[in-house]
């Protein structure tokens, strides 16, 4: 199914590059899954990235949104501000990520709020991290290895 506007025009994510998008368009590409807000571990020898179910301290587990998005870098200094250049180089962005899909010339999934028109479809489709995480607060970094999961890097069927 291909989304079109009421005038039959193609939606912005099919006609604009990431660089051409307005700030509002850019922000709307986020589907609210919060997979990128999960801590990841990198093997120093191979560079391989593995996902954990350990959520960032600022992640609201119910809404799957950042509790302090505008000021997140002050609390979480290693929080990555996504840019078009970052999107094209980050190997750990989930395969369902709207930014990644658009940068690769692919369409958004049916459950993406821009396609469905509903913010909750990302949760209804089981794409989001809602109900599947543990908080990082108070957890020793060494314990992250006990929370390795594969689902954030998978494309649901």
Extents of the domains making up the chain: 13-153
**What is the chain's length?**
157
Q: Cα 1 to chain center, whole Å?
A: 22
User: How many CB atoms are closer than 10 A to CB 39?
Assistant: 18
Token pair recorded at residue 148? 């390795």
In this prediction, residue 154 carries a pLDDT of: 87
pLDDT digit string, tens, across residues 36-63: 999 999 998 998 999 999 999 999 999 9
**pTM score, two decimals?**
0.89
> What is the gyration radius of the CA atoms in the chain, in angstroms?
16
In this prediction, residue 1 carries a pLDDT of: 44
Structural element, H or E, at residue 116: helix 113-116
Give the pLDDT band of residue 156 (cuts 50, 70, 90).
confident
- The percent of residues above 90 in pLDDT, for the chain, comes to 88
């Amino acid at each position: 199914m291909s989304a079109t506007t009421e005038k039959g025009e193609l939606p912005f994510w099919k006609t604009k590059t990431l660089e051409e998008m307005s700030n509002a368009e850019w922000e709307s590409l986020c589907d609210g899954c919060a997979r990128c807000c999960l801590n990841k571990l990198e093997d120093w020898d191979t560079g391989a990235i593995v996902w954990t179910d350990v959520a960032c301290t600022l992640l609201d587990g119910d809404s799957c949104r950042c509790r302090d998005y505008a000021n997140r870098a002050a609390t979480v200094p290693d929080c990555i501000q996504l840019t078009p250049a970052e999107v094209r180089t980050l190997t750990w962005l989930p395969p369902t990520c709207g930014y990644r899909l658009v940068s690769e010339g692919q369409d958004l999934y049916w459950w993406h709020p821009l396609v469905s028109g509903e913010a909750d479809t990302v949760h209804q489709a089981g794409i989001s991290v809602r109900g599947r995480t543990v908080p990082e607060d108070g957890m020793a970094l060494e314990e992250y290895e006990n929370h390795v999961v594969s689902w954030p890097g998978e494309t649901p069927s």
